[in-house]
Amino acid sequence: MMVSLDGYIEGPNKELDWHFVDEEFEIYSKEMLHSVDGILLGRNVYELFAQFWPNAIDSPATAPDPAKPEHHLEAAALLNSLPKYVVSTTLEKPDWNNTYIIGNNIAVNITKLKQQPGKDIALFGGARLINSLIRLDLIDEYRMIVNPVLLGGGIPLFSNENGKIDMKLTGIRKFKSGAVVLKYVPL
Amino acid sequence: MRKIFLHIIVSLDGYIEGPNGELDWQFIDEEWEEYIHSMLGSIDGMLFGRKAYNSVSGYWPGAPDNPAAAADPSKPQRHIEAAHMMNALPKYVVSTTLKSTDWNNSHIIRDNIVEEIKKLKMQPGKDLAVFAGAGLTASLMEHDLIDEYRLVINPALSGDGKPLFNGSNSQKNLELLDMKQFASGAVMLRYANTVNK
């Protein structure tokens, strides 16, 4: 998850303009997408993605740097083809390719997904789904991309109802943009 | 002009204390003692809010005579040296209620906080460290008096408690200056406030 130094995933007016997306980050995202077999999302995030990525696939103009769209186009192709699992009780007929709805029994259905053979599954938010999965103890790894900004308000990544969780730091990486990836596994 | 930097330990979810004042996720080992020792050597004074001051002033005056409190009591040297520096360095406490203090070299800033802190910054010398919670941090941020943010992120979700940032400031763009990884799993991220550059 992209997060500000003060722990928000969106600014007070839903701003996301503080996300640092440069070529180094695009390569990182693309490699991450190659390492997964599926994507787990809440409904709001799913709808944002479903509006954007199907159109991005053959549209270099949607790349952060339209002059160098190749990583963006590769990420778009991956996002469109990978299985997408949306946790929602209201979504009925998703249009986006390879989408599956998890409407109830989140714990059981996500545990089943985890038990299938294959590569890892990436959880892309939003905050409500993330915090439900934290409380269900279903997150095996946390990868926080801390952006160099204090937003001063907005939607916090972590709710204050999860209890205390000790972690082990398993990786750290610095981007030229000033973003830092911190990787943890819960103990 | 010398810099003011915020130096504070937070949980991964941004708390400086657990819901019952717990600090049990803070990790103190020899590497940490070495780091603190060199940080204290780089400053000429420290700024506190009243609560932080009260908790720290209850500890350090007796610490030079208490090698058992070191991470490794058989090697207490760094801890004792840090205690001597804490006791000797000027301490500026921002408080409207604190009347007097017993701790050596303490100075109370009661009013005109912004002006007084600007005056401190103008004095020649080494940097000033802010060891403060949400209240003082937010007022210093409001006036862009913090030149550098040094957050030591400990590998734990506290779940709840006292947050470092209280969500009252406007957006501030930062520049990552460097970072340091500790064997304990803590990570120190150091940022410059781009407005002050």
The full DSSP string for A130-177 is: HHHHHHTT----EEEEEESEE--SSEESS-TTS--EEEEEEEEEE-TT
Give pTM, 2 decimals.
0.93
Mean pLDDT across B66-72: 88
User: Do residue B189 and residue A7 have CB atoms under 8 angstroms apart?
Assistant: no
Under 8 Å CB-to-CB from B66, ≥6 apart: which residues?
none
Mean pLDDT across A33-51: 95
CB-closest option in A5, A146, A165 to B157: A165
- The rounded distance, in Å, linking the Cα atoms of B97 and B51 is 11
User: Do residue A168 and residue B185 have CB atoms under 8 angstroms apart?
Assistant: yes
Looking at beta carbons, which residues of chain B come within 8 Å of A168?
155, 185
- The rounded distance, in Å, linking the Cα atoms of B188 and A127 is 25
Asked if A171 is an interface residue toward chain B (Cβ–Cβ < 8 A), one would say no
Q: How far is A55 from chain B (nearest CA, A)?
A: 31
Under 8 Å CB-to-CB from A80, ≥6 apart: which residues?
A53, A54, A57, A96, A97, A98
- The rounded distance, in Å, linking the Cα atoms of A98 and A39 is 11
Q: What is the largest CA-CA distance in chain B?
A: 47
Backbone angles phi, psi at B102, to 5 degrees: -95, -20
CB-closest option in B171, B181, B185 to A152: B171
Q: How far is A28 from chain B (nearest CA, A)?
A: 19
Task: Report whether pLDDT(B170) > 90.
Answer: no
Q: How far is CA B149 from CA A25, A53, A144, B4, in A?
A: 24, 36, 19, 9
CB-closest option in B168, B169, B189 to A180: B189
Asked if A6 is an interface residue toward chain B (Cβ–Cβ < 8 A), one would say yes
Mean pLDDT across A160-179: 95
Q: How large a percentage of chain B has pLDDT more than 90?
A: 80
Mean pLDDT across B51-75: 90
Helices (H), A68-140: 70-81, 106-115, 127-135
pLDDT tens for B4-19 read: 999 999 999 999 999 8
User: Do residue B156 and residue A165 have CB atoms under 8 angstroms apart?
Assistant: yes
Task: Report whether pLDDT(A169) > 80.
Answer: yes
User: Do residue B12 and residue A5 have CB atoms under 8 angstroms apart?
Assistant: no
Tell me which amino acid residue B92 is.
Y
Higher-scoring residue by pLDDT: A38, B20: A38
**Per-position b or e across B96-122, b if 16+ CB within 10 A of its CB:** eeeeebebeebebbeeebeeebeebbe
Q: Was domain B4-196 assigned CATH 3.30.2130.30?
A: no
CB-closest option in A15, A164, A167 to B18: A164
pLDDT tens for B121-164 read: 999 999 999 998 888 999 999 999 999 999 999 999 999 999 99
Domain covering A2-186 in this structure, CATH number: 3.40.430.10
User: Do residue B141 and residue A150 have CB atoms under 8 angstroms apart?
Assistant: yes
Beta strands in chain B (DSSP E): 4-11, 15-17, 43-49, 91-94, 106-109, 127-131, 148-154, 156-157, 162-163, 172-181, 187-193
User: Do residue A169 and residue B173 have CB atoms under 8 angstroms apart?
Assistant: no
pLDDT tens for A67-118 read: 999 999 999 999 999 999 999 999 988 999 999 999 989 999 999 999 999 9
The burial of A66, by beta-carbon neighbours within 10 Å (0-12 exposed, 13-18 middle, 19 or more buried), is given as exposed
Q: For CA atoms A158, A160, A163, A168, give the dihedral sign.
A: positive
Asked if A136 is an interface residue toward chain B (Cβ–Cβ < 8 A), one would say no
Identify the CA nearest to A101 among candidates A120, A115, A88: A88
Looking at beta carbons, which residues of chain A come within 8 Å of B13?
7, 157-158
For residue B125, the 8-state DSSP code is: S
pLDDT tens for B178-197 read: 999 999 999 999 999 998 66
